[in-house]
Amino acid sequence: MELPRKGPFRPAYLTLHEKGALIKRGLEAQGRLECCRLCPRECKVNRRADEKGFCRTGIKAVVSSYSPHFGEEDPLVGTGGSGTIFFTHCNLRCLFCQNYEISHLGEGRETDPAQLARMMLHLQDLGCHNINFVSPSHVVAQILAALPLAVEEGLKVPLVYNTGGYDSVETLRLLEGVIDIYMPDLKFMDPEVSHRYCRARDYPEKVRAAIREMHRQVGDLVMDHRSVAERGLLVRHLVLPGGLAGTREAMRFLAKEISPDTYVNVMAQYRPCGEAPDHPPLSRRISAKEYEEALNLAREEGIHRLDERKGIRWIRFIR
């Protein structure tokens, strides 16, 4: 089932910029860097003075790469691809990260707001359907600083907030009217599991609150006549070996507390990366049976808008 749009689509941030509010949001976010509590880690370091906390990012965002991406979900990819900007470092740093070199080892280059704005515009010029900020939770202030510069030069495609889900509701409120498509991971439902694999015992609590706020802002995923996403919530759930992701509880939460019309990608592509080989059962891939069971659990709990991609198109970057 696809939810059609109502009337002509216009990215939310254009209206905010016309009112002068987009620049104000950026200034507010910059101020919050002085005693940083932008994410649930609440390190309280002065990032405006280039101090670095858990995310190891100071005043400038670090970008590892940017390009059209054709491995994302169909509603994001369309025919022109999703314009991904991969931010280096992460506020979650799962030990099994498939982007370990980026999230843990810090591969990338520091980028100022003007450079980040040019990346957005370049991706739009290439025909990408959206600008897809990958791992943005720790660089919200830097994104908001760059966005008005891009808008002044003609940016007009939807913005995607592609996050591991460890987000602060207070920070997400800065993004209301800015982000068109929220795409959080829903990784773990057990605090002990999240503590073991990403040192974030409060992840299940924080991700639930974050997804509620995201859905409040943008609602269920809406697509255009080409089945390309324009606005709404899209949730990713990576199936882990041994049921570590808590799939039934995750799907029940989405269906009962968010919306049964939530668009969900139940992902099959887990493989042992980073430190995972030293942490059974993460040291093995999931089986076909485990994946089919996860899909059945989603359906049993009332989730019916499931991403249908097969085979190689499952492959994507996991934070």
Instruction: Summarize pLDDT for 108-158 with one digit per residue, the tens.
Output: 999 999 999 999 999 999 999 999 999 999 999 999 999 999 999 999 999
Q: Which two tokens stand for residue 30?
A: 């910059």
Q: Give residue 205's pLDDT.
A: 98
DSSP tag of 220: B
Mean pLDDT of 198-225: 97
22, pLDDT greater than 50: yes
Domains and CATH numbers, the chain: 12-314 (3.20.20.70)
Q: Give residue 104's pLDDT.
A: 85
Mean pLDDT of 164-185: 98
Q: Give residue 6's pLDDT.
A: 55
Q: What percent of the chain has pLDDT over 70?
A: 94
> What is the C-alpha separation between 174 and 13, in angstroms, rounded?
12
Tell me the pLDDT of the chain averaged across its residues: 94
* pLDDT tens per residue across span 223-234: 999 999 999 999
* pLDDT tens per residue across span 41-80: 999 999 999 999 999 999 999 999 999 999 999 999 999 9
> What is the C-alpha separation between 94 and 165, in angstroms, rounded?
12
* pLDDT tens per residue across span 261-296: 999 999 999 999 999 999 999 999 999 999 999 999
Q: Give residue 309's pLDDT.
A: 64
Mean pLDDT of 220-247: 97
Q: Give residue 125's pLDDT.
A: 98
Strands 229-238 and 181-184, by their bridges, are parallel
CA-based R_g, the chain, Å = 18
pLDDT confidence tier of residue 7, bands split at 50, 70 and 90: low
Q: Whats the size of the chain, residue-wise?
A: 319
The closest alpha carbon to 184, from 162, 158, 213, 201, belongs to 162
Give the residue ranges of DSSP H helices in the chain.
12-18, 21-32, 74-77, 100-103, 113-125, 140-152, 169-174, 191-198, 203-218, 247-253, 288-300
> What is the C-alpha separation between 255 and 251, in angstroms, rounded?
6
Name the pTM for this structure.
Answer: 0.94
CA 242 to chain centre: 25
pLDDT confidence tier of residue 313, bands split at 50, 70 and 90: very low
